[in-house]
Amino acid sequence: MRISKSRILATSMAVAVMAIIMPVSLVPSVGGTFFQTATAATSATVTVTVTLAPASVTISGSTDVVGATLTYGTQDSTAIAGALGAYSFAVPYDWTGVVTPTMTGYTFVPDHLDFANILADTSGNDFTPSLIVAVEQDFDNGIPKEYSLGQNYPNPFNLSTVIPFALPRAGFASLKIYNIVGQEVANLIAGNLPAGSFRATWGGKDMNGETVSSGIYLYRLKAGDYAETRKMLLMK
């Protein structure tokens, strides 16, 4: 049987065309992030890039108290707040957990922060500190009819002074101490209180537990829509 040269040539061309249109696939190399395919319709190359997730992300914020301890994670890892109470620490990517601040002589609002599946750095996670002070409620006078902030006594004072105030309704209240130029010195109360009459004692110390110098100080009560400020004199 004789096969013409024209048929042999046609067969060879068909095989060559089939080789050209066969898909091409490259297996990803170690650490590689791509594969390529070629199609008969377009003969185009498609590149797919995969970005690797970071090993860790950063949580940062402020406690407003130098030396406060931030506890986080199931292993009870800790970080210490530095200048101005600022803190920053790294956790694993996609981390879920709780951050809790502690400091001798202080409470914090909120008392902890919950985090779930953290995928990027997060900042502004702040806490408001309050000195643990002696706050007594006067049950003899019943529920007051209006908010009030009384004059501290004794005034002038040396070691400590008592600040009376009244709340006609339960809710969040804050009682802060400022120096004469308006800088915050101490945050005596920052939390929910029941309705009633109270007496808070300030021992003349700032938010870092240091004894303040002699001079005029301001104390300010804020509760609901009410706010009032009074003066007192510390003399040593």
Q: What is the pLDDT of residues 28-83, one digit of tens each?
A: 443 444 444 445 555 567 677 666 778 999 999 999 888 889 999 766 789 999 88
Judged by DSSP in three states, 37 sits in coil
pLDDT at 116 (0 to 100): 94
Q: Are 69 and 94 within 8 A, CB to CB?
A: no
Residue 100, SS3? strand
List Cβ<8 Å contacts ≥24 apart for 35-38: none
- The answer to pTM > 0.75 is no
Query: How does DSSP assign 151-200, residue by residue?
Result: PPBSSSBSS-EEEEEEESS-EEEEEEEEETTS-EEEEEEEEEE-SEEEEE
Residues of the chain with pLDDT under 50: 3-38
Measured distance CA(101)–CA(107) in Å, rounded: 9
Place of tokens 């008592």: 162
Structure confidence at residue 209 (pLDDT): 82
Domains and CATH numbers, the chain: 1-52 (no CATH), 56-129 (2.60.40.1120), 133-234 (2.60.40.1930)
- Tell me how far the alpha carbon of residue 232 is from its chain's centroid: 34
CA dihedral 46, 47, 48, 53 (to 10 degrees): -170
Report the side by side order of strands in the sheet with 135-138. 135-138, 196-202, 161-167, 148-149
CA distance 101 to 90: 16
Spatial contact of 94 and 118, defined as CB atoms under 8 Å apart: yes
Q: Give the pLDDT of residue 49.
A: 67
